[in-house]
Chain A
Amino acid sequence: MSGQVKDRIIEIIAEQAVLEPSDISLDQSLEDLGIDSMGLVEAIFSIEESFDIQVPFNANEPEKSDFDISSVQAIVTAVEGLIKKQTA
């Protein structure tokens, strides 16, 4: 399952960055990829839709959020955690 989660998240992020999934590497940040705050909330929406989970994220205080968005890898890890917790 873990590979599938990673691939789908990369797909979602690539769509927002208007890049091919193959252009995305796990250590990049959203800023590196040119994704702004609007792109971020759209990506979170797609993640919620794809995995049927609730992502705890408030655009007013992203730094206080439990959801780590510092890199693509961080997002994958966070989503995997949420899937485990919310579908357990």
Chain B
Amino acid sequence: MKRVVITGAGTINPLGHDVATTFEAMKEGRSGIGELDIRDVDRLAIRIGGQVKGYEPESRFNRQQQALYDRFTQFTLIAAEEAIQQSGLEFGGKLAAEAGVVLGTSGGGLSTLDDNYRAVYEEGKNRVHPFIVPKLMNNAAASHVSMTYNLKGPSFTVATACASSNHAMGQAFGLIRAGFARVMVTGGSESMLCFGGIKAWEGLRVMSKDGCRPFSANRNGMVQGEGAGVFVFEEYEHAKKRGANILAEVIGFSMTADASDIVMPSQKGAARAIAGALKDAKINADQVGYINAHGTGTAANDKTECAAVASVFRQHADKVMISSTKSMHGHLIGGTGAVELLACLMALKDGVIAPTIGYDEPDPECALDVVPNEAREAQVDHVLSNAFAFGGLNAVLALKKA
């Protein structure tokens, strides 16, 4: 089996328009959540979110590109550019055929759907722009990355709600490990902060009106965010040979299904995924210094997740640091695991653990070290990143210091 390393990272998310700014925000424990600035916000009960602010599509993309790129695709391309530039890779000849792209998203071009449903249903228009289909399809982002960078190997999109990015990165890892590809561009993107997107989530009654406070006893729900995280996964020998800057090594992945409920998480399903990732990585729980939690800030997730971690880590559960960066950037749904993997890279590379901000009151049902409110300096060699999706689909990645 081949070893897999990360040689590039890129992002645009509510905390910043690149990796450096995002790291800064995570180190400062800054929140990117604020009042939503979207059409018809006055008809919404939920009016906060992690929006990408200060972003002007026309400064990055020309008119033809904007006609084809939904916001989730735009975010993907911006993050991919940063990641691929950092990797220093160019895709030609044989390498192009051995390089692919697998990305996660849940809603795909949801704001394109929203805008055009509005046009035909609300405004009574009888025609829509010819490119609505290629703009809204879930694989649009993966395809545009493939086209932009000449990636001709295995390429597809994974949609498993809130675990999409982790499942995508797990697939990228597996493809390189098994020898199906040498380089994979992977991660995920989401942009459902539009009227219809928020309205649908309101219906579930799991959203907070005032903030995301994972693991805190006074938490009252999740807050949605938007953005993308994209990484270059590369076969270790290939990276070493060309003297690439290795950010971290991906050493394990596990996915499980709860097979129980469409929305309620299961402790057993989550625990099996965590234990599976450790086993796949051939490490013991006591070697793990940090876990990036799924940590949505809902009553159900946080206590189930803490119980799952406690059951796998046993006597080491008190020592491992576990934080939810959703407290800062919100829940990026299909893109969330990708942006959260940045916190894992920061822990391994910079020795800084991102905090869980908004933490007011301990909850006996979440009695772990959640790195409350302030980032912490700590040397860690192994980290995990959890994602547990609606539908009971769980995906956990294990990373190691380069």
- List the interface of chain A (C-beta within 8 A of B): 15, 18, 38, 41-42, 44-45, 48-49
Let me know if A42 and B127 touch, CB within 8 A: no
Any A CB within 8 A of the CB of B124: no
Residue of B nearest to A49 (CB): B127
Let me know if A41 and B127 touch, CB within 8 A: no
- List the interface of chain B (C-beta within 8 A of A): 63-64, 67, 127, 129-131
Docked pose: A45 CA to B125 CA in angstroms: 13
Q: Using Cβ atoms and an 8 Å threshold, which residues of chain B touch A45?
A: 127, 129-130
Docked pose: A15 CA to B64 CA in angstroms: 10
Docked pose: A3 CA to B67 CA in angstroms: 29
Residue of B nearest to A59 (CB): B130
Among all A-B residue pairs, the 9 with the closest Cβ atoms: A41-B130, A45-B130, A42-B130, A45-B129, A48-B127, A42-B67, A45-B127, A42-B131, A49-B127
Let me know if B127 and A38 touch, CB within 8 A: no
Closest CB-CB distance, A45 to chain B, in whole Å? 5
Closest CB-CB distance, A77 to chain B, in whole Å? 22
Docked pose: A38 CA to B129 CA in angstroms: 11
Q: Using Cβ atoms and an 8 Å threshold, which residues of chain B touch A38?
A: 130-131
Docked pose: A41 CA to B131 CA in angstroms: 9
Given contacts A38-B131, A42-B129, 10 further A-B contacts (CB under 8 A): A15-B63, A18-B64, A38-B130, A41-B130, A42-B67, A44-B130, A45-B127, A45-B129, A45-B130, A48-B127
Docked pose: A44 CA to B131 CA in angstroms: 12
Q: Using Cβ atoms and an 8 Å threshold, which residues of chain B touch A42?
A: 67, 129-131
Q: Using Cβ atoms and an 8 Å threshold, which residues of chain B touch A18?
A: 64
